Amino acid sequence: MNHDTYSDDYIRGILNSVKTIAMVGASPVEVRPSYFAFKYLVQRGYDMIPVNPGHIGKSLMGRPFVASLAEIGKPIDMVEIFRSSNHIMPIVEEALKLAPPPKVIWMQLGGRDDEAAAKAEAAGLKVVMNRCPKIEYGRLSSEISWMGVNSRTISAKRAPIPTQGMRLSLNRMSVGGGTTAASDRAAKNKTEQS
């Protein structure tokens, strides 16, 4: 699969089908991007599980931290990796050992490991790299346009303001294939600076 661009249907299919998401690298620190993404996805009705061995004994949005994927103790649909690229392969390998394995491996903005992606896809999992489910959800639901961001989503009707646990329709039509060139440039610049 070409991981440089994803169709709206591919992203939409994932976000509509997953319910339980384990976020590896979640942080209870309110200024961290993982905190914002976690909170947003909880508010959209996803069953979020924070995974971070450095925060055992704490909770995030009322959900206790676990040290590893193996400690979750129930099936998960998606593993969202909020770690740098050099930490991705061990997380994917741990996810593949779960019974049953997750359906999706999602690597946050700046996260990319083509070898880990190939390994997950060979095991039948869907993979998304260098994307944020919070941003993609907001874009596909047109919610992101409430903040004055051009989501390239066409609709004559504004989506409703979500309430706690409300899922918005992700079936709005986008133009231009919904590519996120800005995130691709940011990841490339980050890699070149390393």
Q: Is residue 116 included in any domain, yes or no?
A: yes
Closest CA to 79 of 58, 93, 61, 62: 93
Cα distances (Å, whole numbers) of residue 51 to 16, 72, 85, 113: 22, 9, 17, 20
Mean of pLDDT values over 15-41: 96
Report, as an integer, the average pLDDT of 9-27: 97
- Please give the model's pTM, rounded to 2 decimal places: 0.78
Task: Return the bridge partners of 127, or none.
Answer: 105
Task: Classify residue 38: in a domain, yes or no.
Answer: yes
Read off the pLDDT of each residue in 51-59 and give the average, rounded to a whole number. Answer: 96
Any domain includes 145: yes
CB 116 within 8 A of CB 109: no
Helix (H, G, I), strand (E, B) or coil at 138: helix
AA identity, residue 182:
A
Residue 53 domain-assigned? Answer: yes
Cα separation values, 119 from 19, 36, 45, 92, 172, Å: 23, 29, 30, 8, 32
Q: What is the pLDDT of residue 138?
A: 87
Query: What one-letter code names the amino acid at 148?
Result: G
Is 1 within a domain?
no
Percentage of the chain with pLDDT > 70? 74
Domain that holds residue 105: 8-193
| CATH code, domain carrying 140 | 3.40.50.720
Mean pLDDT of 116-140: 95
Q: pLDDT per residue over 145-183, tens digit each?
A: 555 445 455 555 555 566 656 566 676 555 444 445 555
Residue 3 lies in a domain: no
Residue 117 lies inside a defined structural domain of this protein: yes
Overall number of domains in the chain: 1
pLDDT by residue (tens digit) across 30-43? Answer: 999 999 999 999 99
Average pLDDT over residues 50-64: 96
pLDDT digits (tens, 9 = 90+) for 68-103: 999 999 999 999 999 999 999 999 999 999 999 999
- Four-residue CA torsion sign, 72, 20, 54, 193: positive
Cα-based torsion angle of the residue sequence 8, 24, 82, 142 in order, rounded to the nearest 10 degrees: 30
Write out the two tokens for 154: 């066409």
Residue 77, in any domain of the structure = yes
